[in-house]
Chains A and B, each alone.
Chain A
Amino acid sequence: MKCKAAHSKLIFFLERELPEPEMKAVQEHLAVCPDCALFAEEMKRTLSILETEKVSEVNPYFYTRVKAKLDRPSEIQLSGIRSSVLVRVLQPVAFSIVLILGVYGGVKMGATGAKTGSAFTAEQEMVPYLNEMDVEPLETFLME
C-alpha cells in the first residue's frame, strides 16, 4: 500500500470501520512508514479530544436558571425585540448614514479642491503669458 492510499483510509482505520483485509494492509503500511505512523498517532490524539471534551457533569443550577428564564418571558421577549430592532434596523441605518456622510464629505472636499486647483493654475498660466506678450511681442523677438 502506498502512502497516499494509506492516508485516505487513516481516519476509518482509527475508527475501525475498514474491512479486515484493508485494516491489515493499513496496519502493515504503518509498521514500515514512520511518516504515516506519526500522522496516524497525531490524528488519534487529536480525535481523542472529542471524548475528553464531552460534558460529563451536570450544572446543579441549570434547572433554576431555566425556571428563572421561563418566569420572565416578557423581559426576554422585550430584550429580544430590542436586540432584533437594534440589529436589523438601527445598525444598518447607522452604517448607511455614516456611508452617505462619508460620500457627501468626499464629494464636497473633491469639489473644493478642484475649484481652487483650477483657479490657481489658470492664474499661474495666464499672468506670465500676458505679461510676456506686453513686454516682448513675438515680432520684436523675431526681429532681434
Chain B
Amino acid sequence: MSDQEIIEQLKQGSEAAFRKLVESHQKLVVNTCFGMVHNREDAEDIAQDVFIEVYRSIQQFRADSKLSTWLYRIAVNRSLNHIRDNKKHKWFQSFEKDEEAKSRQLFQVESSAADNPGYEMENKQRAAILYGAINSLPENQKVAFTLNKYEDLSYQEISEVMEMSVSSVESLLFRAKKNLQKKLYQCYKKKCM
C-alpha cells in the first residue's frame, strides 16, 4: 500500500490503513524522537502521540509534502515540546520524582547492558558525553543534526522538514558539528572521555 493510498483510506477512517501507517513508519518516528530526547521510553511515548495526532488531523493533510516529511515535522515538534516542558517543570519536580527518574534510568541502562553483552561501561560513558554535547546545541542545530545522523536525511530533505533553505541547513549542520567538536575537545582535555 503506497503512502497516497494510506492517506486516502485513513481519511475514510480505515483502521487497517492506520495500522499500516504505524507499522511502516514506526521506526522512523521512534528513531527521530530518540535522537531528540535520548531516552527509549520517552521516545516511544512521544511517537505514540505523534501517530494519534496524525490520525486526528489527517483531514487537514493536503499532501503538499510527503507523508514522511509531515511525520518528521510532528515528531520533531512533539520532541521539542517534551524537552521544553521537562526544562520548565524541572524546578517543580519533587525529590521523589527525581529518584523515580534516576532509578528508571538506571534500570534502562542495566537492561540494555543485559540485552547486549557487548555493551560496555566505556560505551555508556561515551554515550552520556555525546548526548550531553548534543543536548547543549541550540534547538535548530540539534534538529538538523538529529535528522542528518539518526535518519540519514539529505540536506534537501532536512530543509523540507525544517521549512528553510538548503544553504541554511548546511550552515546549521556546519555550526552543529563545530560546536560538538568543541564540546568533545573540552571533555578530552578534562580527561573525561
Contact = CB atoms under 8 A, between A and B. Distances in A.
B150 A50 contact: yes
A54 B130 CA distance: 14
B26 interface: yes
Contacts of B89: 87
Interface residues of A, number: 28
A65 interface: yes
Contacts of B6: none
Contacts of A69: 48-49, 52
Contact of B92 (A7, A50, A91): A91
A49 B52 contact: no
B48 A47 contact: no
Interface residues on B, range: 20 to 34
Contacts, number: 76
Interface string A29-53: 0000000000100110111011011
Interface string B173-193: 000011011001100100001
B26 A49 contact: no
**Is chain B's binding surface mostly helix, strand, loop or mixed?**
helix
B193 A55 contact: no
B149 A50 contact: yes
B23 A7 contact: no
Given A15-B177, A87-B92, A46 B193 contact: yes
A133 to B, nearest CB: 62
Contacts of A53: 34, 127
Interface string B33-52: 01000001001100111011
A12 interface: yes
A59 interface: yes
A63 B52 CA distance: 11
A129 interface: no
- Listed from nearest, the 6 A-B pairs whose CB atoms lie closest are A11-B181, A55-B31, A63-B22, A66-B48, A46-B126, A11-B177
Given A47-B130, A50-B130, 4 more contacts: A39-B188, A46-B129, A53-B127, A58-B30
9 contacts: A8-B181, A11-B181, A43-B181, A49-B126, A49-B127, A54-B34, A62-B26, A63-B19, A63-B26
